[in-house]
Structure 1
Amino acid sequence: MDLQQPPPASRRPEGCLVTAVRIPVRIVALVLVVPVRMVWDALVVVGRVLRDAVLRPLGRALAWAGKVLFVRPLVGLWRYVLVPVGRALAWLADVLVVVPARWLHRYVLTPVGHALARLARYLVVVPAQWLYTWVLAPVGRAVAWCVRGLGRLVGAVAAGIGLVLYGIARVLLVLPALALWRRVLAPVGRVLAVVAREVGDALGHAWRIAGHLSRAVGRILGTLFRWIFVEPVSWVYRTVLTPVGHVVRDTVLRPAGQALRALGRGAREALTAARDTVRRARADFRRMLWGDPHPPVAVDRREPSQPDTRTLGSSTTALTKD
């Protein structure tokens, strides 16, 4: 099925007041809004740079510091100090307070309360019910009937007075206010609505135009910055600093590194030789004072000779002996 979109609604013709208000308002709004929009875009760029380069790393560092300095100590305090202490206090409260209170309620207060409730029923409730049924209820019905009659009378008088005041207020207030609204306030409101709508439209157009101008200025400044600073610095880095760095690395840094490594190896060998010399001098001094240490006694840990060995074929074991 072919669906056709409905034709757009025709725009209502605008009067001379709308046209006279629209053009100067849009010109003034454009002049005022363009600097504000450019400043706003610059502040947005600066804010994004600060957020990404300063605030976000600072926030992560503060979060890590807060976790290390506060959260983990508090968790440890809660888990290993407060929870065991709370459990101990709860057990003490249960033993010292809850159990005696339960026993007191069950074996003392409950019987006393039952006894007092039987006495209160016969001494207070039954006489109060009799007094309410035979004295207070008839008197209350009589008073209520009188109050209802008085209320009807007062209501009738108030209704008459209200009708009179309504007529006076309608003549003195409502009709003049209605005429003021229809003849003065409504036309003035329509004019102010037209002016406010046109000012809002002008500000919107000016804000969009200022955005285009701000983006164009930003592109131009970015291109100039790239031409003036980035590309010369990149060229200098590629054509000057990189070859110079390679030359310095090959002629200065690499030989210096090899010389330092050779010096380090020599120093380590000298330290090793010095340690060996000190060790030998200490051994010689110990031999000079206490003599040579006694040689260790050799212990024969080999298997016995052939005649003493026990085998399954010989008859010297307890299992094969006759």
Structure 2
Amino acid sequence: MAEPERYTDTSGGCLTAVVRIPVRIVVLVLVVPVRVLWDALDAAAKAVRRSVLAPLGRALTRLARTLVLTPARHLAAGVAWLWVTLVVVPAAWLCRWLVVAPAVWLYAHVLTPLGHGVLWAVRAVGVGLVALGAGLAWLWATLVVVPGVWVWRALLAPLGRGLRGVVVGLGALLAAGAAVLGAGVAWLWRWLVAAPVVWLYAYVLAPLGRGALIGLGLLGVALTWPFVALWRWVLLPLGRGLVVLGREAAAALGVAWRVAGYVSRALWRAVARAGRLVAAPFRWGWRRLVRPAARAVRAAAREVRRIAGAALAPVRRTLRETRLAVREALAAARLSIRETRRELRTALFGSAPRP
């Protein structure tokens, strides 16, 4: 019973103390019937599952195993045997003698000699190509490489060194002119553009920007102060109160659910005990009085039926013999009537059969 103490919260102040007790009382009054009904439904569901659904499931499982799974397994085994016997074995035989054996013969007597011949031809062509490549390399080295090296060493290299000296001299002159021109442009940029811009920023734009920022700050304070006051003095306390109320309602719901569980278990325990007290005399009477009396009556009825059957057996036997005698007498009378009629027909109409 010490578990509900974890919901005891003394950090909320007087509002928590004022809200907690009424909320818990109301929630307990509302939750107890729901918990009692929930426990009743839970017990009924467990009883139905234990008494009806579990036996029904076992019966359906056994029935499905007997009527579906076992025949299906035997049917699958039969189908597999038929498949192996009628399809796989003939197909393997046909594949062996119609595909594998011709393919092996073709590979051994046709493709292998043909491959050896093609390999010999490729080797011969490769040797010829290597010889041709060696000849072309000799011609390239003799007719192209050697004259090209002579032209580079005797003509192009001295010409390139002269042109490089000319280019270096022109580059030095251009670098000196560019340095003088860059110094002049930098001096003009410093005193004609950078200095006026710095003065304009320091003495005009910066004070004007600081004044604009101060004005915007004052305007923002004037515009946001009502919203800040509304949030701080109205919405924030209201939200805190709603949070406290919701937390207390949730805690009260948990405590009330557990307390209602104790009450529900005690109530159903009392109902079960009362039912046992009421049902015990009936059970004792059924076991001690009704069932032995019923067994005695059943035994007496069986004995009376046996005695009556033994007493009526001669009567039944006499009736059976009388019935058989009457039946035999009637059969003899019918036979004599038939003979008499035949004799009269013979005496009146002769022995010839009637058309």
TM-score by length of 2: 0.42
Q: Greater Rg, structure 1 or structure 2?
A: 2
Higher RCO (C-alpha under 8 Å, 6+ residues apart): 2
Bigger fraction of residues in helix: 2
